[in-house]
Structure 1
Amino acid sequence: MHITKSISGKTIRLPDERWVHIVKGHPEMARYLHDVLLTVAVPDMIVEGGAGELLAAAYQRSDKVLVVVYKEIETEGFILTAYFTKKMKALLKRNILWQR
């Protein structure tokens, strides 16, 4: 189990089983566990998802953004998935809740 804090101060969990699921679906994520946790704690931007989830985004490279999808429930939350994307325009079309 890995734990981080969101910018709202809530404890966000990433169970080992969920990390294995993420890496199976996105093998390129295997060496980015620390970056995933850091993206939730210190994002460049938080946007609203379509079903109550939050998307934390952090610029990792000049051409890619790391997106971590997570949910917050009362005092805690959990990570659903994480992936790299080049589709920054798609993120910017969403409701921006917070930006650095």
Structure 2
Amino acid sequence: MHRTIFRLEPRAEADDPGWTRAPSHGVVIVRADSAADARIVASEGETDFLETPAKPGDGVSTRFASAFRDDKLYHVVEDESGRHAAAGPRGILEGLTRPDVIRR
């Protein structure tokens, strides 16, 4: 299946209070179906409270709080470098080397 390669780049300054939710991961490159899907793909690479013993509550996900979903913290651009094939599964191709970023 043909998808698009997207680059998620930090938009906010390092001292922006929005980064208190989660640290910046720097540039992350993903294969996704759309720019909106690229945000979802990147956020799925982060650890969710539901995947840890430190759950905030039964059935409560923290995926919605990902910095990748905040357009003030990250912007999404199509990556036209040709370094990655568009054909292939949705997923993270580069970046997000520290997925365990939950602030406790």
What TM-score comes out, normalization by structure 2 length? 0.31
Higher relative CO (CA 8 A, sep ≥ 6), structure 1 or 2?
A: 2
Q: Which has the higher strand share?
A: 1
- Who wins on radius of gyration, i.e. which is larger? 2
Q: Which has the higher helix share?
A: 1
